[in-house]
């Protein structure tokens, strides 16, 4: 196969045609093709559910987190995502007390709030997951072999290499070669979710949108970081990035008073849907349920 056939350009994605998918498909290694035999559950039918919870009082004027309010927001997300009436039922519909649970936060620069990790851990312990079975699982050298369930906890932010650096990108260190996934505007990020040590382990994703960054990410420039005071949750990683992108783009347009497109185009979202079959990327295929404070909700 010639080098020309392997090259996927930004223009291919911007066209948004069937040719885009065909062009992308040639970059899948054989192990990814095999792993696509069972598509992401939300693709089987119907819409993917994304829940947005916000509370005006979760951050004070000094941007300190009110942990009690945050815990209430997490509880609401769990109940809405699972359709259960009790927190214990909700967690046990997602994982087992026998699972070894890996929490995957955003570790650097605009990191996931520590309070969110604490709330998740305390909630898991309360439903019977042994504390020693709850581990931080972010980083290049993390051994995923003993981990049976992952809870992804990324921060909502724009990214100067990928357009958006939130859910799909959150597993990049598991690749062992993150640099390789930043070529061609990071179109291949979805491939990482099919790595044998990762595939099928993600039980829930909660996006920290307490203080997102809409430009210059992952480093946070105070001009582009604002108190959104929200959390987003789903079991569909692509749908979460699509909704997060909508919020970031709306904030950018508000700041400029005119369209201010995210650059580079976050083509990893569409590719994660059409090529890697991880979930829904189009908003018409996503049900967004909003809970709580609705001022400047942006979506």
| pTM metric for this prediction | 0.88
pLDDT in tens, 169-200: 999 999 988 888 876 768 899 999 999 999 99
pLDDT in tens, 236-271: 999 999 999 999 999 999 999 999 999 889 999 999
Would you say 224 and 167 are in contact if contact means Cβ atoms under 8 Å apart? Answer: no
pLDDT, position 294: 97
pLDDT > 50? residue 17: no
Name the phi and psi angles at 122, rounded to 5.
-65, -35
pLDDT > 60? residue 15: no
| Closest by Cα among 19, 44, 4 to 279 | 44
User: What is the pLDDT averaged over residues 106-119?
Assistant: 92
Name the phi and psi angles at 41, rounded to 5.
-50, -35
pLDDT, position 164: 92
pLDDT in tens, 21-70: 434 443 565 556 555 544 555 444 689 999 999 999 999 999 999 999 99
pLDDT, position 103: 98
């Amino acid at each position: 196969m010639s080098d020309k056939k392997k090259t996927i350009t930004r223009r291919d994605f911007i066209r948004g045609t069937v040719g885009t998918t065909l062009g992308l498909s040639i970059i899948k290694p054989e192990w990814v093709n095999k792993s696509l035999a069972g598509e992401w559950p939300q693709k089987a039918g119907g819409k993917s559910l994304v829940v947005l919870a916000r509370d005006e009082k979760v951050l004070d004027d000094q941007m300190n987190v009110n942990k009690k309010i945050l815990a209430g927001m997490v509880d609401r997300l769990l109940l809405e995502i699972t359709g259960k009436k009790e927190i214990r039922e909700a967690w046990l519909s997602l994982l087992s007390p026998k699972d070894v649970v890996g929490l995957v936060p955003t570790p650097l620069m605009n990191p996931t709030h520590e309070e969110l990790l604490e709330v998740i851990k305390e909630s898991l312990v309360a439903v019977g997951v042994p504390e020693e079975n709850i581990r931080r699982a972010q980083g290049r050298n993390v051994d995923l072999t003993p981990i049976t369930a992952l809870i992804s906890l990324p921060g909502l932010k724009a990214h100067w290499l990928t357009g958006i650096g939130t859910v799909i990108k959150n597993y990049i260190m598991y690749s062992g070669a993150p640099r390789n996934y930043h070529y061609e505007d990071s179109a291949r990020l979805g491939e990482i979710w099919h790595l044998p040590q990762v595939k099928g382990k993600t039980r829930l994703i909660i996006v920290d949108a307490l203080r997102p960054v809409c430009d210059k990410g992952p480093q946070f420039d105070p001009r582009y970081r604002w108190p959104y005071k929200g959390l987003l949750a789903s079991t569909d990683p692509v749908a979460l990035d699509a909704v997060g992108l909508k919020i970031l783009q709306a904030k950018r347009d508000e700041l400029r008073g005119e369209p201010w497109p995210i650059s580079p185009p976050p083509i990893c979202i569409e590719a994660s849907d059409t090529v890697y079959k991880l979930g829904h990327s189009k908003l018409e295929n996503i049900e967004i349920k909003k809970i709580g404070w609705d001022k400047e909700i942006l979506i």
